[in-house]
Structure 1
Amino acid sequence: MSKDASGSGENRRQRLAALREAALHRPVARHLSDGFNGRWTRRQWMQASLVATVGMLVAAIVPGFDAQIAQPVSVQRQSMALTLPPLPLARQQGLPGDSWQVVYVERGQTLASIFEELDIPAATLQAILDHPGTRPALTRLKPGTEIAFDLPVDGGLRAIRFDRDESHRVELSLQGERIVEKVIERPVEMRKVVLSGEIGSGSLYASARKAGLSPSMIQALTDEIFKYDIDFDKDLQRGDRFSVVVDEKWREGEKIGSGPILAATFTTGERMYTAFRYERNGKAEYFTADGRPLKKSFIRMPIPYARLTSGFGSRRHPVLGVLRMHKGVDYGAATGTPIMAAGDARVKFVGWKGGYGRTVILDHGRGYTTLYGHMSRFGNVKAGQRVAQGTVIGYVGSSGLATGPHLHYEFQINGVHRNPLSVTMPPPEPLRGAELAAFRLQTAPALARIQQVENIIYAGTQPPPRKPRRGKA
């Protein structure tokens, strides 16, 4: 080997040794680890946690993928036979007594539609309706009416059962072309009861319903019995009390209805109003405890939803243009608005009467008459007919000398025109003599029963003090 070659090899070894020495003493970046010193840094803990989490996810997911890829395992299925209850013998043999289907009539349903739903032929329906006494009960069906059909397994109608009235149930058996009728008597028991309640935080209607009064009873209290004495929109307050005596109808342990209110009391504040039902001259009315009718002789305004357009007295006629006496009052209302009889009366005149146009005149007796003019048409009334207070005798119009649709209403006493808005109305005729004695004998037990019930219910309680009302003395 030459001297130059050996020198170059020596130089190469020296350079490599110098590079190693420089690498060993080069400074290391701070973010690299200087080696484990016995304690992990925060970054090392975070890195270890991340690696552990990824490892657990891989361990959980990979077996699932493996299960999906693997062949599905067949699952064995087993069937179990369940024993059903046996069909009743009567139904198997088609015997009566175990195949009745009860139908409750819904609103709008007819007997024909019920037969059609049950797949009963129309000829069978016609045969039943042709049976004597059947058609009236089955052609005027009310919602809730119960009708039962004896339909065996083969589907042929064997019998039908329905109520002819409250106390008689009829069963019609179809035997070939014959219909055999069986009437079952269902006795109805009348129970005289007292229903009492107190107005709480809710309305009168809610309190009355809670006490057991039906909607028709509540309407009778507010719109018939006490409407002349109590303003049910303004006068009622919490703590007011009411009681009614009614006859309830019971049949086979079930209440099926109630009769009219026989007696009633309504206590507002410290005043108690009473009402007792009594028939006078064949007509039922309500009277106070001393025999005075609750219904007033006359209605102040014989037309609903109207406005006063012209008063009583001298004025210039809107059509003739002359100054003349206006002998009544005018109520403006739409054409066709019903006009009511102001009181019980006999119809004296129905027809056309000059400038009044279509007119009805009523004679109320004791010298009192009323006139209703400018009608568009008459009600179902004729001269000589008796009409009750509130009966519709005609409808608003503009017949005769009228500039627009309105009612012209006149009130006369012994032929003298009086202002209907200010005249003192005559009091109704009270009961007298033997009639008054019979009334008291009939109503005394009802009042005593109400007082007994109220003493039990409200013992030791006092109604809350009444709040003063503005505008009242």
Structure 2
Amino acid sequence: MQPTGDGSRRKQRFRERLDVLHDTSLHQRVKQHLPTGRWTRRHWIHASLFTTIGILVATIVPGFSHIPAPSIVESTTTLHLPLPHQASTGTATEMGDDGWEVVRIKSGQTLSSIFSDMDIPASVMLEVMKQPSAKASLRNLRPGVEIALKVPEPGKLQGLRFDADASHRVELTLDGDAIKENVVERESTTRTVVLSGKVGRSLNRSARKAGLTSANIRSLTDDIFKYDIDFNSDLDADDRFSVVVEQTWREGELVSTGPVEAATFTVDGKLHSGFRFARPGHKPEYYTAAGRPLKKSFIRMPIPYARLSSRFGARKHPVLGRMRMHKGVDYAASTGTPIMAAGDAKVQFIGWQRGYGRTVVLDHGQGTTTLYGHMSRTANLKKGQRIAQGTVIGYVGSTGLATGPHLHYEFRVNGVHRNPLNVTMPPPQPLAGSDMVAFKDYTSSALARIRTVEDIIYADLDDAPAQPQVASTGQPASKNKKG
């Protein structure tokens, strides 16, 4: 029996529904029950059932993804709180318990900018600066300096506090147009201490941890031991230093550290020492334990850390191309490197001198002169001017007959050229008479301090890691905030 026309239409609609389910597993299940030939009533019932289930699944399941979450109503309360007055960004402030707002000065900061940040009128600042103490202390504020302001409400300055010097604090109280000044003396204590440490990985780092200032470290490397110790190659981690300085303390805070009064440096077991001493009518200098000045008559190298590029003697001239006596030594360095006077001297010549280019000639007395050639420029010197050893007299260049930037340095005795590298330098005159007696009395006390501290610190630390130490002598021990 063939299907009727209505049956053919139903079959066509069913085929279309199957096309919708083509990519689903439901389609695969239906295909398993489809006959290859004619359909029976049972086949049509199964097909209708599967189609109905498919439609229901496609309609109901996606609806669950749109179920709205239950809304949660939160109870909130808004409180209006007054905010304290704050300085604008850029001014580091700290509010104290007593109402004073402490400002630590940053680089480039001025009193005017601080007042502006706090909305204090410029007219108030002008009245404050009329005070002599304020004018002297607040005109040029250095970074790190602290001042305190009392500003009970925005724009109203009630008080200003600052340090006039290490021992005096000034407090200005503003009441209307009147300004009251009160100077408070701050008690300070000066102690003589011995700062000691081992070189470790870095002399500079160890010395700073021990409590030495940058100026103290420069004194060690540039004034006291530069003639006896090569700080670039001679030092080992176990080498140690001890330095006698005066420290000023105020209210438990280290205020300042004075110059190096005495120092010892032990390198490879050899002890080097230096002592600061001022003869009557002379500036302080550093001397050995025997009373001989540590500053030599002449510096071997007028340029620190330069490379020796040509020695004294006969050579083929790099510009002229023929054999010619080289009457000095050459130090290669970058253009603009400072050149120092080899010793105390009087300027004999400054200007252009043939193949030497820009040149300076110094007269050191007793027939000794030094010449410095090929400079890019000279310092502000005048002929006949007296200068001290180490004074910058010019800068490295390549003027005159030169193939590159370097210093040509000559050493002459009574007009005869000598090799600067091996010439015997005249020794400086030692202390004598009453100066020597006073010096010996001073050095014995300083050495006793150093030995006492080193005997305590290094007695059991020969195999221990480098540890910077500080000790006070003659007074109660103090805690050094720097190390």
* TM-score under structure 1 length normalisation: 0.72
Deviations 1:287-340 (A, max 9, x none): 111112223222222124544444333456666677654432333444433221
Matched residue type, 2:423: V
Taking the aligned partners of 2:208 and 2:322, their CA distance within structure 1 comes to 58
Q: Which amino acid aligns with 1:212?
A: G
Instruction: Supply the RMSD in Å over aligned alpha carbons.
Output: 3.3
2:481 maps to none
Whether the aligned pair in 2 keeps the contact of 1:359 and 1:374 (CA below 8 Å) is yes
Change (3 A) 1:265 1:317: closer
SS in 2 for 1:296: coil
- Residue 451 of structure 2 aligns to a residue whose secondary structure is helix
Q: Which amino acid counterpart does residue 395 of structure 1 have in structure 2?
A: Y
Partner residue of 1:59? none
Higher relative contact order (CA 8 A, sep 6+): 2
Q: Distance in 2 between matches of 1:302 and 1:426?
A: 17
Counterparts of residues 19-168 of structure 1 (less than 5 Å): 77=75, 98-153=98-153, 155-168=155-168
Separation of aligned partners in 2, 1:267 and 1:153: 60
Letter in 1 for 2:394: G
How far 1:421 moved relative to its partner?
Answer: 2.0
* CA–CA separation in structure 1 for the residues paired with 2:419 and 2:70: 105
1:441 is paired with a residue whose SS is helix
Deviation at residue 248 of structure 1 after TM alignment: 0.4
- 1: CA distance, partners of 2:135 / 2:147: 14
CA distance in 1, matches of 2:405, 2:214: 36
Q: May I ask how many residue pairs the two structures share in their alignment? A: 386
Unaligned runs of 5+ in 2: 1-63, 83-96, 465-483
Maintained 8 Å contact 2:215/2:259: no
Return the offset for 1:412. Answer: 1.2
Structure of higher CA gyration radius: 1
Partners of 1:255 and 1:70 in 2: how far apart? 66
Partner of 2:429: 429
Within a 5 Å distance, the mapping from 1:221-370 to structure 2 comes to 221-280=220-279, 281-304=281-304, 306-315=306-315, 325-370=325-370
C-alpha distance in structure 1 between counterparts of 2:210 and 2:444, whole Å: 23
Matched, 1:185 2:204: no
Distance 1:428 1:386 in 2: 19
**Secondary structure of the corresponding residue to residue 261 of structure 1:** coil
Q: What displacement does 1:78 show? A: 8.5
Report the Cα distance in structure 2 between the residues aligned to 1:330 and 1:289, rounded to whole angstroms: 35
Structure 1 stretches of 5 or more lacking a match? 1-64, 85-96, 465-473
Percent identity between the aligned chains? Answer: 61
By how many angstroms is 1:241 displaced?
2.5
- Alpha carbons of 1:239 and 1:406: their partners in 2 closer, same or farther (altered >3 Å)? closer
Q: Which amino acid aligns with 2:284?
A: A
Asked if 1 retains the 8 angstrom alpha-carbon contact of 2:121 and 2:155, the reply is: no
Distance 1:116 1:270, change over 3 A: same
CA separation of 1:463 and 1:430: change in aligned 2, threshold 3 A: farther
Residues 314 and 241 of structure 1: CA distance in aligned 2, closer, same or farther (over 3 Å): closer
Deviation, structure 1 residue 432: 2.0
Superposed CA offset, 1:76-134 (max 9, x none) = x59799x99xxxxxxxxxxxx94321111122322221111111112222222233243
Letter aligned with residue 301 of structure 1: M
**421 and 269 in structure 1: CA distance in 2 versus 1, 3 angstrom threshold:** closer
SS at match of 2:259: strand
Q: Secondary structure at the match of 2:278?
A: strand
**Residue 443 of structure 2: SS of its match in structure 1?**
helix
Contact 2:118 2:154 in 1 (8 A): no
Query: What is the alpha-carbon distance in structure 2 between the residues aligned to residue 166 and residue 289 of structure 1?
Result: 34
1:351 and 1:358 in contact (8 A); partners too: yes
Q: Which amino acid aligns with 1:217?
A: N
Match of 2:203 in 1: 204
- List per-residue Cα deviations over 1:32-57 (Å, max 9, x = no partner): xxxxxxxxxxxxxxxxxxxxxxxxxx
